[in-house]
Amino acid sequence: MGFGYFTCCYSGTNYTTPSLRYVSSSAFRRKSPSFSFCSFPTKPMSQQHITLTSSNVETVNDSSTQPIPLFDYHRIDEQLLHNIAYDALVWASLHGLLMGDKSVQRSGTDPGVGLVHAPFALLPTLFPESQWRQVCELAPIFNELVDRVSLDGKFLQEALSRTKKADKFTSRLLDIHSKMLEINKKEEIRLGLHRSDYMLDENTKSLLQIELNTISSSFAGLGSLVSELHRSILSRYGKLLGLDSQKVPANGAVSQYAEALAKAWSEYNDPRAAIMIVVQAEERNMYDQHFLSELYNTHHIAIVRKTLAEIDEEGEILPDGTLSVDGQAIAVVYFRAGYTPVDYPSESEWRARLLMEQSSAIKCPSISYHLVGTKKIQQELAKPGVIERFLEKKDDIAKLRECFAGLWSLDDSDIVRKAIESPELFVMKPQREGGGNNIYGDAVRETLLKLQKAGSEEDAAYILMQRIFPTVSAPVLMRNGCWHKDHAISELGIFGTYLRNKDGVIMNNQSGYLMRTKISSSDEGGVAAGFAVLDSVYLT
């Protein structure tokens, strides 16, 4: 019969005997399953140990028995699973692990309307402690690399010159960058809130970088909450499962992001000025952003939220260079929009982006930092001898190169030929952020052949990347109040905070993490895009 999915939903207020419906794997992938209603189990579990073995699940009543955790969460007794899932849903609701429900029209515009818990893994995913330390050490190095590369305007323009001809969005960003170079605009205070994403490759046993995000690095807020949720669950159920809550690393991503924004605001040195978060007109993930609004309570800093269109309509640059929006001086501009062409439906949005770049406000990111995070620059930096232009320490360079996956331009005919012959070994990436953009499998071959036939410079809009084959795990995934078992893979993002002024570096830290887990049959991995769930790390 093959692997299938047990699914469960909670409904109503009467809790009796739980029931389950078994859904075949083929049915689950074809369409959304019809979940049966389940209830909170009445059988007490507190006096039992659940021993997970490679072949079975045993309920052991002897309190002296030590459970053996093997992380195959599919083998957990289902009655216990009901208990954990119910408590997790209550915790998520009480602590703000929430998003807007896409089925509710106003959920992306009006706070408090159409709330649903963010999708999350019920229990944390194991991760080797040695490689955990490795990624944490990389964060400050990548922070410094981004800053150094951002200062080399000529390198950015030349490296992206072919991409500019093939990709209109990148071209518009480069036009703004060129204007800043022409007026010799200096960003003396530079703030970076980055996230570098990695996977553990099963074939090579190596930790490899997927991408480096320099704009709108999301889920510092909700990601921190999932780590707290998993610690809470294991504090209550850890003895039954043989898991230790202290093996889930503390996750201070949102507090450290807030601290970085507050320090940047302080560096700007205008107590009347506010921090402005640039947002999309509709944003179901607004609560992840609103956690940063606590800056008002902790630092007495005003926070305003504006779309690019609103900034164009209400914004101006005062004679001293200050950015004023609706009469409010802005010290720091924090982008949670502006990373995709969809965010620029008209010239109004592009005018707003240029206006902000021309002002004295601290941009997070500046146009230079934004360009450093493009896929093409990632590929250029992986070339032999390139990062050596920007970093001096040989140990740092070696650490970065160790985590680089294979990255190639499409003007490399040998690699293109190999990708056409074996498309399953490659991923084709456009210059886009957010989920749902990459090309996999046979579509890689088809796209490459189409580009070859066209004979144009459209190929410059893409790069080729070595496909990573991570270890498959057996998690329990929570979405829309329902749990189901599946086979999945995970991607670990490490947040970094960087702040400097003309005198030197003020902050350069690894600042929390984001684990995302997705069904192994899915190529894409965005949580907000609906491909993945939020997760946390269990160190082994």
Catalytic residue chosen out of the listed positions 247, 263, 284, 375: 375
Contact 514, 492 (CB under 8 A): yes
Helix or strand (DSSP H, E) at 328: strand 328-335
Catalytic residue chosen out of the listed positions 190, 516, 525, 536: 516
- Token duo for residue 45: 């579990």
Catalytic residue chosen out of the listed positions 211, 267, 310, 491: 211
Catalytic residue chosen out of the listed positions 432, 433, 473, 509: 433
Catalytic residue chosen out of the listed positions 39, 218, 409, 508: 218
Specify whether 112 is catalytic: no
Q: Can you say whether residue 183 is alpha, beta or left, with left for phi > 0 and alpha for psi between -120 and 50 degrees?
A: alpha
Contact 331, 267 (CB under 8 A): no
Catalytic residue chosen out of the listed positions 195, 467, 500, 518: 195
DSSP for 119-161, please give it: PEESSPEEE-HHHHHHHHHHHHHHHHHHHHHHT-HHHHHHHTH
Specify whether 211 is catalytic: yes
Specify whether 213 is catalytic: yes
Burial 371-382 (b: 16+ CB within 10 A, else e): bbbbbbbbbbbb
Specify whether 263 is catalytic: no
Q: Show Cβ contacts of residue 134 under 8 Å, excluding neighbours closer than 6 positions.
A: 207, 399, 403
| Pairwise CA distance, residues 29 & 11, whole Å | 24
Residue 335 has φ and ψ, to the nearest 5°, of -85, 120
Residue 119 has φ and ψ, to the nearest 5°, of -65, 135
For the chain, the first-to-last Cα distance in angstroms comes to 33
Catalytic residue chosen out of the listed positions 96, 434, 441, 530: 434
For residue 369, how many C-alpha atoms fall within 13 Å in the half-sphere facing its CB?
29
Catalytic residue chosen out of the listed positions 83, 150, 196, 213: 213
What is the number of other CB atoms lying within 10 angstroms of the CB of residue 168?
12
Q: Which amino acid is at 178?
A: S
Q: Measured between alpha carbons, how far is residue 212 from residues 11, 100, 401 in Å?
A: 41, 27, 14
| Pairwise CA distance, residues 153 & 368, whole Å | 8
| Pairwise CA distance, residues 536 & 249, whole Å | 8
Q: Is the peptide bond before 140 cis (omega within 30 degrees of 0)?
A: no
Specify whether 516 is catalytic: yes
Specify whether 284 is catalytic: no
Contact 447, 423 (CB under 8 A): no
Contact 333, 276 (CB under 8 A): yes
Specify whether 429 is catalytic: yes
| Pairwise CA distance, residues 284 & 267, whole Å | 32
CB-based burial label for 55 (10 Å; 0-12, 13-18, 19+) = exposed
Residue 309 has φ and ψ, to the nearest 5°, of -65, -40
Catalytic residue chosen out of the listed positions 190, 429, 467, 500: 429
| Pairwise CA distance, residues 122 & 484, whole Å | 10
Instruction: State whether the Cα torsion 231-236-239-241 is positive or negative.
Output: negative
Residues serving a catalytic function are: 195, 211, 213, 218, 375, 429, 433-434, 516
